[in-house]
Structure 1
Amino acid sequence: MTRILVVSVGGSCEPVVNACRELKPDFIYFVCSEGPKGSSLTIDGPGEPCGDEKKAIAHQLGLQLDAYRKIEVADPDDLNACYKAVREVSAEITARFGPDAEVVANYTGGTKTMSVALALFAIIEGNWNLTLNKGPRRDLVKVRAGDMPVLVGKQAVALTLLRNQAREFLKRYAYDMADAVLAQATVNQLLSGSYQDELLRARRLCQAFHSWDVFDHVRALELLQVTGGKRCAPFIEALLDISGKGRATGYEQVVDLIFNAHRRAAQGRYDDCVARLYRALEMLAQVRLQKEWGIETGNVELAKLPEHLRARYSQLADADGRIRLPLRKAYDLLAELGDPVGRLWQESQRPIVAALEGRNSSILAHGVQPLHRENYETYATVIEGFIRQALETLGVKTRCRQLPREELLEM
């Protein structure tokens, strides 16, 4: 594998020479300052630019012109300029040596700003090893002699940055994006045991809650059970209920849809949010009819209706002879059956119908207009309020809960 060294160069040549000799790179990029007083002269300038009767770095190392390149920075104290220079080096390395080249960054020399830029890039953007020359010190000025490059641990800094990025995605329930951020560490970095365990757990949780968010409850339950832990227990209980395996009331999916709608609203996806609230309203009627009356809205059996309703409902049969009830007719039937949810529907019908008509203009319904936050808030107040009142009327309490946001990283 080709080894590339990117080294910052300051006024002292010895650390740079020692790093190059120890690391034995196939090609070297010297990040230096330009001008008559810049560190560029110490690389291949004439005479003895390294002082103490020592020739330039390239001469000491016996480097040919095709074995190195100088990257000159006009202002070595400009962090943006230094960082941009290192980024350009990274792009050139990929283009010239391919993505699999081993890159080592050594930030011993150069101005503090140059060193910071090189170290930051190695941590944030570059899958680079980071090294620093260490040796005996007689004072706080610099290492005098006998210095050698050693690998620098960058995991804590890199993982903090990645966790902060993931946290921003989790604030919006973007579990898949948070997982992709954390994958940069688990896939591209050799992690110590504790860091690895922490990140793998966070990634499993991201994948579990993403599966839940897209209604793959089976996969979500599997991942949460594998992950385990006290803080996962309430979510596992809720999923078992949603799947009909726990202390299910039958209305868990209705409540889960409401929480899902809230997550879409947090992402500014108001059309999706309203679509989910509509489905929750529809599902409430379907579950109530099936659970209490044994009636399936997709295929109503006349024998299960009171005799005085059969003739009228038989007229609703389609060409296949099936009686299918849309949302409003399902609630009308509950009202005619004397069901408490039906009675509540009759009392609340007018604002609900008005809200439904507003929803019909959505591009995800029958119209072409996007819904905005104000539309969502109006719709949610009416529809969600009705659903919660209906469940309260029935005495239904579920163990459903909203999914975690940035607190996921501490679970």
Structure 2
Amino acid sequence: MSKAMLISVGGSISPIICSLNKHKPKFIIFFASKESEYQVSEIVKKISFSYQATEKIVTPSAEIMEESYFVLWQRLPSILERWKIRPSQIIVDYTGGTKSMSVAIVLATLDFCKKYSYIGGKERTKEGLGVVVDGKEKMLYVKNPWDKYAVSVRKKISLFFNECHYDSALREVEILKEKVSKQEESFYSMWYDLIKGYALWDKFRHTEAKRELYKGFRKLQIYAYNKRRYKKLLDCIDKNLKFLERIVDKKEIEMLIRDLIANAKRRAEIEKKFDDAVARLYRALEKIAENELFKIGINHSNVKDSQIPQNIRDKFIGKYKDEQDGKIKLPLYAKYELLKELGNQKGKDFFSQEKEIKKILDARNSSILAHGDISIKEERYKELLSLVLNFGKLQEKDLPVFPYLEM
């Protein structure tokens, strides 16, 4: 027994009765014209099963498709809501009624319906050109149109992903999962896991990202067996997972620095969000200093007095000691100053280029996302990117790259 059925009425009632008896829906919505409305009571008397409720939607004009579409669009959601039926649970039969009504009923339900039916037959009147002869009806099912239409939506999802709109891509996949047939759901579930993994990674939620990406990767390995077109994608995801492992499992700060820079490149070079990109590069520059301090046992957010050279100790305690918890917490310049005074090469390099660095960092501090009102230009972003890569002794090929998606 089906949950609910929306069926158009008009012309011979035998095919409509045949369809209803075949599906035996608990809830029935008749879509009729003013001229065919009287047939509903006759149909109800002749169906051979028990149902829970019926409702009628009557088009003001059976020949004007737009009016039929509008009345369905207006009435159908409230009926389904009252019956607590999800739109995807209904079967739509467009056998009866005018051609305009048939077009309207399909268009009005195309966004959510998974199953359509139509009554045909081996024998028709008028030498095969008329209506189906009573008693010769044959149930025909139309495959879920979303199984084919999804191809165009997949292009949209790929575009969203490749433009870094990961959450938008994720929403589209989630919607498709609800619309396609049962046998197609696993395909979209695989893409959902993969895209969710990258969406989480882009938000620096590395542990969750690794879990989701592994889940999708395993599904893709099975699906893509002997499919050469997926080899490049599989190789890229495999490489990405190995990178994530170094952040999540091995806690390698160097990998986190690379990830910050890669994230900045996505913001700037794909989304053209240079202020966002520079904020990440600034953080990467801080992380480089923090990593150098970590190597020699210094926690940048809780520096001990004894770890600070005598010649700058009083200054650091006076400027950077938190009055609430008593911890010495260092900002970017102070981190590099401490490194320089301790003889660290990174600290020396920082101050040997201080004039150039200050110009770029001042631009960051003037950014609307920092302390100012100025939008950062692409040139400044490129200067800071080059600076951070040089400081980290990195090349762009060392950075993780998300795959180019073609679903």
| TM bin (shorter chain) | 0.7 to 0.9
2:147 is aligned, of 138, 150, 156, to 156
Residue 161 of structure 1 and its aligned partner are, at CA, apart by 5.7
**Corresponding letter in the other structure for 1:331:** Y
**Partner SS for 1:125:** coil
For 1:5-404, what aligned pairs fall within 5 Å after superposition? 5-9=5-9, 14-25=14-25, 26-32=27-33, 40-44=34-38, 56=39, 58-59=41-42, 61-62=44-45, 67-72=54-59, 74=61, 76=63, 78=65, 81-99=67-85, 102-110=89-97, 112=99, 114-126=101-113, 129-136=115-122, 141=129, 144-145=132-133, 146-154=136-144, 155-157=146-148, 159-160=150-151, 162-186=153-177, 191-192=182-183, 195-226=184-215, 227-228=217-218, 229=221, 230-231=234-235, 232-243=237-248, 245=250, 250-265=253-268, 266=270, 271-291=275-295, 293-300=296-303, 309-317=309-317, 318=321, 322-336=327-341, 339-346=344-351, 348-362=353-367, 364-367=369-372, 369=373, 372=375, 375=376, 377-391=378-392, 394=393, 399-404=398-403
Please state how far the C-alpha of 1:294 moved relative to its aligned partner.
4.5
RMSD: 3.9
Shift of 1:251: 1.8
Q: 1:3 to 1:303 in 2, by over 3 A?
A: closer
Taking structure 1 as reference, are residues 17 and 258 closer, same or farther at Cα in structure 2, changes over 3 Å only? same
SS at match of 2:73: helix
The C-alpha deviation readout for 1:27-77, integer Å capped at 9, x for no partner, is 332154xxxxxxx42443xxxxxxxxxxx56545548xx955243154746
Gaps of 5+ in 1: 33-39, 45-55
In structure 2, what is the Cα distance between the partners aligned to 1:179 and 1:379? 33
Q: Specify the code of the residue in structure 2 equivalent to 1:125.
A: F
Give the TM-score, by structure 2 length.
0.74
Contact 2:59–2:67 (Cα < 8 Å) also in 1: no
Q: Deviations over 1:198-248 (max 9, x none)?
A: 1121111122222212222122222333333334211111112223639x5
Q: Given residue 287 of structure 1, which amino acid in structure 2 is its aligned partner?
A: N
Q: How much identity, in percent, do the aligned residues show?
A: 26
Q: Can you give the 5+ residue segments of structure 2 that lack an aligned partner in the other structure?
A: 47-52, 222-233
- The 8 Å contact of residues 57 and 75 in structure 2, kept in 1 or not, is answered as no
- 1:131 aligned counterpart, secondary structure: strand
Separation (CA, whole Å) in 2 of partners of 1:120 and 1:141: 26
- TM-score, structure 1 length as denominator? 0.74
CA distance in 1, matches of 2:100, 2:157: 28
The letter of the residue matching 2:175 is Q
| SS of residue in 1 equivalent to 2:250 | coil
Q: Describe the shift of the 1:207–1:142 C-alpha distance in structure 2 as closer, same or farther (beyond 3 A).
A: farther
Alignment partners' CA distance in 1, 2:164 and 2:128: 48
Q: Give the conservation status (yes or no) of the 8 Å contact 1:8–1:108.
A: yes
Give SS of 2:316's match. coil
Q: Give the deviation of 1:283 after TM superposition.
A: 1.0
